[in-house]
């Protein structure tokens, strides 16, 4: 049995304990893993006791990418500086249709190839999220003017459209690759190279019409060009 009054653990060391948690009088130099190893050898829990409580708290901010939160903050600042005043939506309320239109509008503009909102230079996706943040906060704070149309029969609509889509895939099982902006850019770059090497305009046109706008790799793209340029 050691004398607890005289036994001290030097700085940078860890006390070794027996199975009952009592200090044995031995110490080991602490490294990044030494404390963990000693505790594991003694069958003790390695994690901070607060961890098991903290991970179950209602607040889960660590799960949210703060880079996006920062962009949303700047987007919300724009509204304040334009004269709407910060958090005005908690006082004046929110009409659902206005913010749905704004969010969908920004998403559509992004989808159609316009990356940035011309008024702010922020991503259209960020501006859409700003609209949805206001809309959701109004719902939480009971400040929403809910002017949605009468409820549609979505279950039936989903079922009917799913049947149509399934029948299309059955009729056209092979499908075709879509044209994409990235594919178009790749096509343009590759065809410019091929033109300098003597590939005819007719072959280039045939390539585009054949749906090779989004070939996954340059080697496959080159193979497609070679195949189409054959006489």
Encode pLDDT of 23-56 as tens digits: 676 766 665 555 566 556 555 555 666 777 778 8
pTM across the whole model: 0.63
Residue 160 lies in a domain: no
Same domain, 48 and 104: no
Same domain, 92 and 120: yes
Q: Which helix (H) or strand (E) holds 94?
A: strand 94-95
Residue 217 lies in a domain: yes
Same domain, 88 and 44: no
* Distance in angstroms between the alpha carbons of the first and the last residue of the chain: 95
Q: How far apart are CA 184 and CA 113, in angstroms?
A: 13
Residue 133 lies in a domain: yes
Residue 176 lies in a domain: no
Per-residue pLDDT at 216: 40
Residue 59 lies in a domain: no
**pLDDT higher for 4 or 150?**
150
Residue 150 lies in a domain: no
The tokens describing 169, both together, are: 């895939």
- Domain hosting residue 211, numbered range: 181-228
pLDDT digits (tens, 9 = 90+) for 184-196: 777 777 766 655 5
Residue 103's pLDDT band (boundaries 50, 70, 90)? very high
Q: What's the Cα-to-Cα distance from 146 to each of 104, 114, 139, 168, 169, rounded to whole Å?
A: 17, 30, 9, 37, 38
> CB-side exposure of 104: number of CA atoms within 13 Å?
6
166 pLDDT exceeds 90? yes
Residue 140 lies in a domain: yes
Average confidence (pLDDT) over 95-106: 98
Residue 111's pLDDT band (boundaries 50, 70, 90)? very high
- Across all residues in the chain, what is the average pLDDT? 79
Q: What is the dihedral of CA 126, 130, 136, 142, to 10 degrees?
A: 180
Per-residue pLDDT at 214: 45
Residue 32 lies in a domain: yes
How many independent structural domains does the chain possess? 3
Same domain, 87 and 44: no
């Amino acid at each position: 049995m050691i004398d607890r009054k005289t036994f001290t653990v030097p700085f940078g060391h860890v006390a070794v304990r027996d199975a009952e948690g009592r200090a044995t009088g031995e110490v080991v130099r602490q490294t990044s893993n030494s404390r963990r190893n000693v505790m594991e050898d003694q069958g003790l829990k390695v994690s901070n006791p607060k961890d098991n409580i903290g991970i179950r708290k209602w607040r889960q901010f660590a799960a949210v990418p703060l880079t996006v939160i920062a962009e949303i903050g700047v987007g919300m600042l724009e509204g304040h500086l334009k004269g709407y005043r910060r958090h005005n939506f908690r006082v004046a309320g929110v009409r659902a249709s206005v913010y749905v239109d704004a969010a969908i509008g920004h998403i559509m503009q992004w989808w159609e190839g316009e990356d940035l909102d011309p008024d702010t230079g922020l991503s259209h996706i960020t501006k859409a999220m700003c609209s949805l943040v206001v809309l959701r906060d109004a719902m939480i704070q009971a400040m929403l003017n809910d002017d949605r149309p009468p409820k549609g029969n979505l279950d039936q609509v989903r079922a009917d459209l799913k049947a149509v889509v399934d029948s299309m895939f059955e009729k056209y099982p092979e499908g075709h690759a879509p044209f994409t902006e990235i594919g178009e850019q790749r096509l343009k770059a590759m065809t410019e190279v091929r033109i300098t090497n003597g590939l005819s305009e007719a072959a280039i046109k045939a390539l585009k019409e054949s749906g090779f706008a989004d070939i996954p790799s340059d080697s496959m793209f080159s193979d497609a060009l070679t195949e189409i340029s054959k006489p």
